Structure 1
Amino acid sequence: MSTLAYGCMGLGGGWDNNPVTRENINQAHQVVDTALEVGINLFDHADIYTLGKAEKAFGNVLAERPELREKMIIQSKCGIRFADNEGPKRYDFSAQWVSRSVDNILERLQTEYLDIFMLHRPDPLMELDEIADTLSVLKSSGKVRHFGVSNMNQHQISYLQSALDTPIVVNQIEISLAKLDWLEEGIMTGNADGRDINFTAGSLEYCRKKGIQLQSWGSLSQGLFSGRDVSHHPQHIQQTAELVRELAYKYNVASEAIVLAWLMRHPAKIQPVIGSTHLDRIKACAQAPLVTLSREDWYNLYASSRGQEMP
């Protein structure tokens, strides 16, 4: 598995009901080719991305070039349901919804199996035995080879794992240079200033101990530190963007590579998920595994992004 993952949420056109076009499919071909050329072989999907069209566009690539499938690791997610005639936006881990969702995912992707199937967001109404039985059937049928979760803390993962006879192999959460709670909860332990941090203590350590791969969505902070106009952002954001540029020059790589290398420098071996459809930016991100930031440079970025020195 590659150290970076390509997130396919930008494929298939807009978040609307327009059909997938030839242009959308051609774009998917170009993105897949570029990712594979730079060594990225993990492709991340979800059934909701561009309302299913991301998987459809990608599936057309596989249908037209089936030899690519064995060169890929494909993961997808389900569990988020948008508002419809039956109810509001909600999460659904019921057996019926999950089973039907996986069948639809496989149909859209035009593949017989998923390497990894992930539950997208915690469903408060999840029945443990029901979801465990459903996942077991998916695995025994050959539709899914491995399981993962997204946006779950250690307690939720542990509870789910207690009913499964196969290990949860990945947890995908939002962590980046702009979203620091995953680090702050550790350094602010016992500090009253950390009482409002929204990250469950010990989740990183739990995943590391159990061998669960941490994936980061939003890893590039939507270009906040790698090219976006930050002139109207707070001073510490502007300073961090400038520091990223300086380090990109120092390490002779693109700014995107520095932002990702900062995540990858953590001992948890975080796997960033990148989502840009710009081919040059994909290539820039692929430089990240070539960079090992010094401890001082890593802490410079951390302190700059948090807007104050370490406590």
Structure 2
Amino acid sequence: MTKVMPLAKRGISNSRLALGCMPFGGGWDAEPFTEQHVKEAEAAVEAALSIGITMFDHADIYTKGKAEQVFGRVLQARPDLREQIVIQSKCGIQLGEGDLPGRFNFSKEHILHSVDGNLERLGIDYLDVLLLHRPDPLVEPEEVAEAFAKLKSSGKVRYFGVSNMSASQIKFLQQAIPDSFAVNQLEMSLNHLHFVDHVVHVNQQAGTEVNFAEGLMEYCRTEDIQLQAWSPLAQGKFSGRDIKDEPKHIQQTAQLVQQMAADKETTAEAIVLGWLMYHPAMIQPIIGTSNPERIKACADAERQASLMTRDEWYTLYVSARGTLLP
């Protein structure tokens, strides 16, 4: 059976991978970005395009706004590129400043102000997708709805989504918002297995240790909400990073990934991402590196997902868990 990504069903994107732009622009400090940072972003974007990635993920807070500014410079140098790609950004997190701690803000005023900042830094007229970054306990759904309606009617945002939210949180927002959410972005990887563990540990004591909202995967699949995975490569834990201090089962899983890559004449990155993409939810990994070679190493991921067997998927899953299934 041929499956289609929810984003493709909506006509937003058919890019099976997306590039996360969080590393662009230098450090999370007050230092301005440099021309070298622009060149590095250009190289990362070119590498992504070369392997078929046409979706790019941002947030207003990434490197304190510099990530979007640098990407804007890339677009400025290539004005034809804007209509060839999908740009997604996020809002709702306010970084700590002075005596104020880091906090969340889904107020109408903050959302509208944030999107204006997104667009200004990127040098564009609209976002293809806007995500609410992390749940705000003070949220008023009607206020979010007002902000979204204004953004859509003005042409500033085409589609909306969320990040790091449970099914109940999404439903709570959706009862006030007429447009269905297009995306939910969550941490999912061979190193962060809660999205699978919550399925197999129903009626099991081990299930009390699983940190994943009940029914979330099923809800998103039922509602055709695109599941995106942040940190899908687990910061290189299974594809070459020094992990001598990691638990034995993680080291063994890294060895298993390397062996599978060698046997299949591909890269470790393609195996790790292929494992995620094999899942019937049509998960879209958000690659979080700006290294062109690591980006290109992901090129074979979709093919490896199509070639992976159920037995291989379970072998990787159980190895990464470090314990047998119940």
Report TM bin, short chain.
over 0.9
TM-score by length of 2: 0.94
Distance 2:170 2:264 in 1: 38
Aligned residue runs from structure 1 range 107-118, under 5 A? 107-118=120-131
Identity %: 51
Equivalent residue, structure 2, for 1:296: 311
1:18 and 1:159 map into 2 onto residues whose CA distance is: 40
Specify every segment of 5 or more residues in structure 1 that has no aligned partner in the other structure, as ranges: none
**Cα deviation per residue 1:100-135 (whole Å; 9 max; x = unaligned)?**
000000000000000000000000001111111111
Moved over 6 A (4+): none
The match for 2:108 is 95
Spell out the pairing of 1:194-233 with structure 2 (5 A cutoff). Answer: 194-233=207-246
Q: 1:266 — aligned with what?
A: 279
Residue 294 of structure 2 aligns to a residue in which SS?
Answer: helix
Distance 1:144 1:44 in 2: 14
- SS for the counterpart of 1:136 is helix
- Confirm or deny: 8 A CA contact 1:5 1:273 kept in the other structure: yes
**Cα shift at 1:86:** 6.5
Matched with 2:155 is: 142
1:16-55 residue pairs with structure 2 within 5 A?
16-55=29-68
Q: CA deviation at 1:167?
A: 1.3
- Residue 8 (structure 2) aligns with: none
Contact 1:4/1:286 (CA < 8 Å) preserved in 2? no
SS in 1 for 2:16: coil
Counterpart-to-counterpart distance in 1, 2:146 and 2:137: 18
1:6-42 alpha-carbon deviations (Å, 9 max, x no partner): 0000111111111111111111111111111110000
Deviations 1:45-67 (A, max 9, x none): 00111110000000011112111
What code does the residue aligned with 2:106 have?
A: F
- Contact between 2:187 and 2:229, CA under 8 Å: does it hold in 1? yes
Q: Is the 8 A contact 1:43 1:75 kept in 2?
A: yes
**Contact 2:142-2:177 within 8 A present in 1 as well:** no
Residue 323 (structure 2) aligns with: 308
Corresponding residue SS for 2:70: helix
Task: Tell me, in whole angstroms, the C-alpha distance in 2 between the residues paired with 1:239 and 1:248.
Answer: 14
Partner of 1:58: 71
Task: Report which stretch shifted further, 284-293 or 102-111.
Answer: 284-293
1:17 and 1:89 map into 2 onto residues whose CA distance is 16
- Any unmatched runs of 5+ in structure 2? 1-12
Contact 1:256 1:284 in 2 (8 A): yes
**1:275 is matched with which residue?**
288
Alpha-carbon distance, 1:179 to partner: 0.6
Q: Give the secondary structure class of the aligned counterpart of 1:168.
A: coil
- Structure 1: which amino acid aligns with 2:313? W
Deviation, 1:159, is 1.1
Partner of 1:175: 188
Secondary structure class of the residue paired with 1:185 = helix
| Aligned-pair Cα RMSD in Å | 0.9
Range 30-39 or range 108-117, more displaced: 30-39
SS in 1 for 2:136: coil
DSSP 3-state at the match of 2:255:
helix
Aligned-partner Cα distance in 2 for 1:240–1:84: 41
Give the distance between the partners of 2:270 and 2:136, measured in 1 at CA.
Answer: 35
